[in-house]
Structure 1
Amino acid sequence: MLGRQVGSLLSGVEAALNAGLLSADGPRLAFRHDLIRQAVHENLPLAVRTALHREAADSLRGIGARSAEVAWHVVMSGGPVDDDAVTTLTTAVRELSSSAPDAAADLAQRVAGLLPPHDGRRITLLTDAAEYLGRTRRVHEALDLVDTTLPEGLEPLQEAHLRLVAAEIHQAAGDDAAAMTHLQQALDLPALPPDLRVRLLKTKATGHVYLGDITAAEQTGPWLVEASYRSHDPAVVVSAMVFQSQTSFYRGRLARALELAEEATRRAGTQSAALYLRPPRIPALWLATVLTATDRLADTERVLREGQREAEALGLGWSLPHWHAARACALLEQGALDDAAVEAEASLMVAGELEITLPNPQARSVLALVEIRRGDLAKAKDHLRAAETGSGTNTTQRYGPWVSLARAGLADAEGEDGEAAAALTASFQSREPTRLLAVPPSHWPGIVRIALRDKDPSLAQAVSGALRSLTAQDESRQIIGAVRTHVDGLLHRDPRALASAITGYRSTGRPLALAAACEDLGELMAASADTTSAIPYFEEAGRLASASGAGRDQERIRRRLRRLGVRTGPVRNHTAGPQGLGSLTESERKLIPLVVEGLTNRAIADRLYVSVHTVNTHMKHIFTKLGINSRVELTRLAIERAISADGAD
């Protein structure tokens, strides 16, 4: 840059080294500290500084330096920029996007600021910036950037691209209505290229799936899947597989849905472009949903743990609320109420950090259902009220069936049979399996039980009809068969069907479903005066409810046994509040020895192979229950009481 030989600079370099400004420890000279570099940089007159940056960019470009290195000097020179510089900068932005989307978004916005308002490349850079911000925790900034850029009188192609980015971000945040509005406005624009129209239609079709309108999804474009498979973009191909799996699943073709979901997940693991697919098109997230409705429930936890850990490692913050909510649903299906509640809380916590994510009705509904089982109806009511905010008020929305379940469960617990049945009818009155499959199988008999209690056979028969449709398409699923016989037993008051359901449930890993079938059979036997045979079923149901932490269920069964002359011990509620060491859950106790070892929450998460947000939530509960405020206090208490991970102290 100075036009001088290296040798002529040695005296100046030596003086800088002696003064401690520069360091020669490595293969290249460097400032001893970044603050020194910054001080030298800021003390240069502005005109000199920008001129030096411009010359540095030219010199680096001439020797073939990395685009990102050149780009920094171009941006710092403050423009104006020529075509070569814009090309270099755009290349740098895209090179950064896969490894550092935050930095890529910031650079794209800085470059856009150097271009005149009428330059079309400026809008492309801002669209890229919004897309990259949407991959990080800065989702709110991404949507603000979209809202700022849209009124600028864009060309149709530019507007369509920007609205697609906005729609995908809204869809990931659970705001399906906003997503569909952007998509329809984009599709109404003239002269869109075929590949962009395919992407818009595919995203719209996914929106229809999550709004429960599978027919509309299938009719969005019969040629859509075939066109997607011809794409050169692996992410488009993978998302087409997920879409096919989704429509197959909600039509009741579970085997085909599982096959497609597993293949999409396998492909996504080998294609880096597929990492940035947004919820609900992330293959592993969808695979977990399918697995939860099959006999492979145990595989769900593995898929979710691995996917969640990878998302955290890659910084895909926008997906984390969905991973936690999916784990909450799977754990609820497994009867692990305490852990399900922790994952649902973690989902809400991360969603709050993203700022724009709506109050997740699914996570809130899981929390309401857990509190109903525990017996804290006041907390359940609070969670239900939050779930009904926004999209949760409409049963046709993505999580409408979950909200209906929670609303009905609370009404049932309060003895409002008519209100409970009415809450379910809105979501589950169709004989098609679509809405039924929106919630896991162990919840289905409960819908029938509430309907029969209200003497509304139409809803119960609708669930039975949907189940018959499912079993007609695939008879190999043990859980579907067990649920069907359970429902038949309730509908026809058939003890043999209920006994068959109990046998079917025993190997499915769903203890609360098994407990419900045992209780139902016990009630049927007791009503026919066969009280002696009923008692073992009530006792098994009570043990299962106790092991799951379902205190309200356990208390109900205990009262029933007492009426049959069987004395039982009092129900011990482990989660009612800050009761000391006895209130800690098994998962919370596992953390304490690791805290004593001095591990951070991140290190504990790595050791236990869970999310750091899960650990954070557990730690918050531990502090509250033990009435302490620090890890030091917890360590002292653990040492004094010799608390171990297995619960002994």
Structure 2
Amino acid sequence: MSYALRGREPLRELLADALSSAAAGQGRGVLIEGPAGSGRSRMLAETVSLARERGFTVCRAMADHVAHPAFLAPLGLTPAGAPAARGADPLHRLAAHLADRSCGTPVLVALDDLQWAGPATLDALRTLSALLATRALPVLAVFTRASTAGDPAVDRCVAALAADAVVRQELEPLREDSVTALVADVLGAPPDETLSGLCAAADGVPGRAVELAEALAGTGVTRAADGRAALPAGPLPDPLREAVLRPLRELPATSATLLDVIAVLGRSVAPVDLALALGQDVRDLMPLVQECVTAGVLASTERQLVFRHALVWQAVREAVPPPVRSALAQELGERHARRGDFASAARHLAAALLAGERRALAGLERAGRELAGRAPRDVVALLDPVVGEQPSGPAEAALLVPLVGALAALGRPGRAAVLARAGLDAGCRPATAAELAAYLAEAELATGAVRAAGERADAVLDAVTVPPDARLRALAVRARARSRTDALTAVRAAADELRDEARRVPAGAGHPADAAACLLHGLAHWHEGRPDAALAELRRTPGPGGAPHPAGHCWDVRAALGTALLDLGAHDQARTVLCAAPEQEHDRAVDRSPAPGTGAPLAVLALETGDLEQADRMAAEVLGVPDDDRLLTDTLLALAVRAESALRRGRSRDARPDADRLLALLRTDRFDIAAGRALRTVLRVTEAESGPRAALHLLRDLCGPDIPGDPGIPGTPNEERTGGSGAVTASKEPGLPGGAAAPCPLPGALLLAGPATAVWLVRLARAGGEPELAGRITAWLRATAPASPGSAPGEAMANAADHAEGLLRESATLLSRAAAAYRDPWSRARAEEDLGTLLKDGDDTDRAHAVERLQSALQGYDDAGSAPDAARVRGTLRGLGVRRRHWTYADRPTTGWASLTDTERAVADLVAQGLTNRETADLMFLSPYTVNFHLRQIFRKLSITSRVELARMHRDLEQQQAPAAASPPKRRTHPGAAHDRRPRPGHPAATGTVRSAHDTTRALTAPDSRGRR
């Protein structure tokens, strides 16, 4: 069947122009060259058909059949009986006839397959081309020739033709779109993506594309939903496979065997693997490989031999009987394992097992165990399809051990727990059961099920048959599950015991149990308020030459170290730690995505640097992970980031659900590295809604045992207390910096939760009527700061100490020094505001400096996206006679919610909750007259006349937006953009009877004792 000629339009135009020139008496020659199947004969036939339409006399023949009578018959000539003489040759007679101008019409001489021409024909062709080059004749001569190298005599003739100005045209491979159109012609419909391999396998040769498409069309083409032609699912249809393999039948048997082996090993293979599979040296395979490359079947990359086309690889692979494929893969996998190449061994053994070769089970388990710690992604990719959801027996259940370990290492505890439970339910061997139970306990611990994890670890340790690795993991889980912030001596003792146990087993100090010991020691120091000792422990390498455990594991020291550095204000160091990729995470280093266990700390970093939109986005990504796959630390940090971002935007009501979730988690366990930041968030939300006294009450209720020396707190433990102050004092440990800890007036993790947290706690205590607590916090800051002079954490502690002491002593010098030293915009703005508030009641010079400082604070709050703080400073500036324009013009509609300005929207939010104009003005630091003006504008734009209507419309709007509540709120760009949503009147915060700690910046009022230096 003939199909449309695709992709040859330029050549068709050239031949049409040549026919026109010949008809005008300006004849010439054209030589068409191309490989088999490129369409040479088809182009010649098209030219013959067009010439006859234009009235040409056509003399056509194969180049080796010019002696046939039909060749010269159109001109009335007949070949001589015996062309012994030169003039008797048909082409010579034709040239003589044309030279005599004996023809009355234009002539087309068409000779196909010039490569088969004999010497006499070649000699006559040269005579004919010379004639056309020297005389103007109404003759067009078109020849075709295969482009492959052939007879030297033919090559010499072609060179002579070119010298006689014969036009040479090479038929290039068709473009992809032309091949696709040609396949569509054969199949009767455009091909879809599944047929892209068929189009590519044609190599741009139209004859090959037609052959493959016709082979597929003969078996019945599947039609996709959109009407396009599709390749049937499963193995290739037999006719198509035979059509694909037909050119390979011409290869020698040794080369064909080479291709079979490569196809079984995969579409690409390393030469070393190929030599190993064939039992030969690489140098012995070079001739065979070169033969396959020359044939166009194989190509080479920098390190691999690869089938050029996936369709060819599939056809060759399917031609090998399945038992041979599985046996070859199993044999090669065992050979790789004996050589220590467990990555290659696992790949081939997994393929063998999928093909039904059960003998590969034991070798695959061993290879998986060897790779689980070094290449967990490879283990998951290979073993997950093999195991499935439910193992069929003890041998398959044993494969779950490396798979579950790899999943845990990749930060996927949910999937690890599902498979571990499936293995335990399948009735596996006792040793396998102990290993799976230990991994399951780790997964439960990582996701926050601390009590369940501890109970499961106890069960593992009570079992009869427990491998050393499982016992160490169970010991680590039990030690962490029993860790309490009011029993830190016991925590350190358990960590020391765990470290000693890890060094007694062959795994050595590089085992995760040693990392767990480092983590427990570091957390104990952290909760004691000893940042130097905590950082030193978290920075310890888990053994000589050992690498940190892969990110996402519950013993990942790197995530804890990065979080601690963030809390201490060492942002650059934290970024370096969190974004570093260990050697075993080479694939993650390429895709640049955050590793499991680092996304939440990076969200904290964005929050601390004032990028609220980025912080919200990253927190939403973390919280979007399923609960059973999300680490406890990630949950605490992401909830804290989202809640504090809402607070900075002035929307404390939006922060309350996240604060409630944090509070529930903290009541279960407070030993996590993120517990301090989570507690700070809960307290800040409580302060924003109910005032500082309520926040201090909640702190005592939640952490009473962790607040030493506070009168009226029942049940304060006596462990680790000193003297009458009852302050926690760490025992001195050799080799750790810091020595004994300074008296810690509050939970250490809370005091260390951010550079400005301790200062905020000082302000909270003063606003809550507890100046003694404020003084003790300041003393702790001043005593802790010198422990690490010169380091970023030490500088952050010193800045906080200057800030807190400046507040207590009303020292402009200390506040100025703190403001200059803070690195994050919010902390710097807070210090600038405190300094400006201190100076604003002084003389004219002080007032000028106060305005300057307050304006700097306002800019800092704007940079940090903290709208309520900015509004408070703006109110202070108005009191000093300074008014700043804080709005911008926007393209808004004239009516409806979208027409409200940012300030009008904030007023509407508060009034809709039932607040009066006076209460709204107090919360927004505006005058009641300004609020009344905004309210009139709101009524006009919304076409309403009462607060009741406003409350109803506000409720309806919130219900419409409820489905999007999980998405991070967009950052407002102006300080007046959003304000706190306060409780209804009657609540302490709404009535104004309790002042926020942010508003109490000068509790000491003695005018002559400000301590200015």
- Would the TM-score normalized by the shorter structure come out above 0.5? yes
The normalised TM-score by structure 1 is 0.70
Cα distance in 2 for partners of 1:42, 1:410 equals 65
Equivalent position amino acid for 2:797 in 1: I
Name the CA shift for 1:417/1:23 in 2 (closer, same or farther; >3 Å): same
Residue of structure 2 equivalent to 1:478 = 795
Does the CA contact (< 8 Å) of 2:528 and 2:749 recur in 1? no
102-111 or 538-547, larger mean C-alpha shift: 102-111
Cα distance in 2 for partners of 1:625, 1:471 equals 36
Q: Secondary structure at the match of 1:322?
A: coil
**Please, which of 541, 545, 550 is the counterpart of residue 264 of structure 1?**
541
1:363: how far off? 1.2
1:353: how far off? 9.6
Identity value in percent: 22
Residue of structure 1 equivalent to 2:645 = 370
Equivalent position amino acid for 1:507 in 2: A
**Please, which of 598, 601, 606 is the counterpart of residue 323 of structure 1?**
598
Name the CA shift for 1:50/1:508 in 2 (closer, same or farther; >3 Å): same
Does the CA contact (< 8 Å) of 1:285 and 1:304 recur in 2? yes
Q: Secondary structure at the match of 1:93?
A: helix
Residue of structure 1 equivalent to 2:749 = 435
Name the CA shift for 1:212/1:172 in 2 (closer, same or farther; >3 Å): farther
Cα distance in 2 for partners of 1:311, 1:55 equals 30
**Please, which of 767, 772, 775 is the counterpart of residue 453 of structure 1?**
767
Q: Secondary structure at the match of 2:881?
A: coil
**Please, which of 322, 345, 353 is the counterpart of residue 75 of structure 1?**
353
Residue of structure 1 equivalent to 2:460 = 186
Q: Is the counterpart of residue 57 in structure 1 residue 322 in structure 2?
A: no
Q: Is the counterpart of residue 403 in structure 1 residue 678 in structure 2?
A: yes
Cα distance in 2 for partners of 1:572, 1:376 equals 21
Residue of structure 1 equivalent to 2:858 = 542
Q: Is the counterpart of residue 234 in structure 1 residue 549 in structure 2?
A: no
Unaligned runs of 5+ in 2: 1-250, 264-290, 709-744, 891-896, 903-966, 974-1013
Residue of structure 2 equivalent to 1:247 = 524
Does the CA contact (< 8 Å) of 2:447 and 2:629 recur in 1? no
Name the CA shift for 1:319/1:450 in 2 (closer, same or farther; >3 Å): same
Q: Is the counterpart of residue 567 in structure 1 residue 843 in structure 2?
A: no
Equivalent position amino acid for 1:245 in 2: G
Unaligned runs of 5+ in 1: 1-5, 583-619, 627-649
510-519 or 292-301, larger mean C-alpha shift: 292-301
1:559: how far off? 0.4
Cα distance in 2 for partners of 1:319, 1:198 equals 29
1:141: how far off? 2.4
Q: Secondary structure at the match of 1:441?
A: coil
**Which structure has more RCO (C-alpha within 8 Å, separation ≥ 6)?**
1
Residue of structure 1 equivalent to 2:86 = none
Cα distance in 2 for partners of 1:94, 1:52 equals 25
Cα distance in 1 for partners of 2:696, 2:888 equals 31
**Please, which of 368, 371, 376 is the counterpart of residue 101 of structure 1?**
376
Name the CA shift for 1:513/1:116 in 2 (closer, same or farther; >3 Å): closer
Cα distance in 2 for partners of 1:318, 1:12 equals 43
Name the CA shift for 1:572/1:352 in 2 (closer, same or farther; >3 Å): farther
Cα distance in 2 for partners of 1:32, 1:461 equals 76
Q: Is the counterpart of residue 202 in structure 1 residue 479 in structure 2?
A: no
- Measured against aligned partners, the alpha-carbon deviations of 1:162-211 in whole angstroms (never above 9, x if no partner) come to 22222333344454444334323323334646664344323443455687
Residue of structure 1 equivalent to 2:867 = 551
Q: Secondary structure at the match of 2:508?
A: coil
Equivalent position amino acid for 1:408 in 2: L
Does the CA contact (< 8 Å) of 2:782 and 2:798 recur in 1? no
Q: Secondary structure at the match of 2:883?
A: coil
Residue of structure 2 equivalent to 1:341 = 616
The normalised TM-score by structure 2 is 0.47
Cα distance in 2 for partners of 1:328, 1:248 equals 25
Cα distance in 2 for partners of 1:62, 1:152 equals 31
Cα distance in 1 for partners of 2:801, 2:817 equals 13
Cα distance in 1 for partners of 2:389, 2:599 equals 41
1:281: how far off? 3.4
Q: Secondary structure at the match of 1:143?
A: helix
- Measured against aligned partners, the alpha-carbon deviations of 1:481-515 in whole angstroms (never above 9, x if no partner) come to 3323433444xx4212x641441342241332232
Cα distance in 2 for partners of 1:367, 1:184 equals 36
Does the CA contact (< 8 Å) of 2:448 and 2:631 recur in 1? yes
1:364: how far off? 1.7
Cα distance in 2 for partners of 1:528, 1:623 equals 40
Equivalent position amino acid for 1:74 in 2: A
Cα distance in 2 for partners of 1:543, 1:401 equals 29
Cα distance in 2 for partners of 1:521, 1:380 equals 29
Name the CA shift for 1:341/1:501 in 2 (closer, same or farther; >3 Å): farther
Cα distance in 1 for partners of 2:347, 2:669 equals 52
**Please, which of 758, 768, 777 is the counterpart of residue 444 of structure 1?**
758
Q: Secondary structure at the match of 1:223?
A: helix
1:361: how far off? 2.7
Name the CA shift for 1:396/1:55 in 2 (closer, same or farther; >3 Å): closer
Cα distance in 1 for partners of 2:298, 2:551 equals 45
Does the CA contact (< 8 Å) of 1:136 and 1:318 recur in 2? no
1:376: how far off? 3.1
Residue of structure 1 equivalent to 2:180 = none
Cα distance in 2 for partners of 1:408, 1:347 equals 23
Q: Is the counterpart of residue 141 in structure 1 residue 408 in structure 2?
A: no
Equivalent position amino acid for 1:49 in 2: P
Does the CA contact (< 8 Å) of 1:136 and 1:316 recur in 2? no
Cα distance in 2 for partners of 1:625, 1:75 equals 57
Cα distance in 2 for partners of 1:484, 1:406 equals 21
Does the CA contact (< 8 Å) of 1:168 and 1:203 recur in 2? yes
Equivalent position amino acid for 2:636 in 1: P
Residue of structure 1 equivalent to 2:44 = none
Count of residue pairs brought into register by the alignment: 563
Cα distance in 2 for partners of 1:524, 1:289 equals 34
Residue of structure 1 equivalent to 2:818 = 504
Name the CA shift for 1:102/1:188 in 2 (closer, same or farther; >3 Å): same
Higher helix proportion: 1
Q: 5 Å matches for 1:96-135?
A: 97=372, 101-105=376-380, 107-108=382-383, 119=394, 121-135=395-409
Cα distance in 1 for partners of 2:788, 2:567 equals 12
Does the CA contact (< 8 Å) of 2:523 and 2:671 recur in 1? no
Does the CA contact (< 8 Å) of 2:476 and 2:498 recur in 1? yes
1:542: how far off? 1.8
Cα distance in 2 for partners of 1:11, 1:526 equals 91
Cα distance in 1 for partners of 2:595, 2:349 equals 32
C-alpha RMSD over aligned residues? 4.9
Name the CA shift for 1:208/1:437 in 2 (closer, same or farther; >3 Å): farther
Q: Secondary structure at the match of 1:396?
A: coil
Does the CA contact (< 8 Å) of 2:559 and 2:601 recur in 1? yes
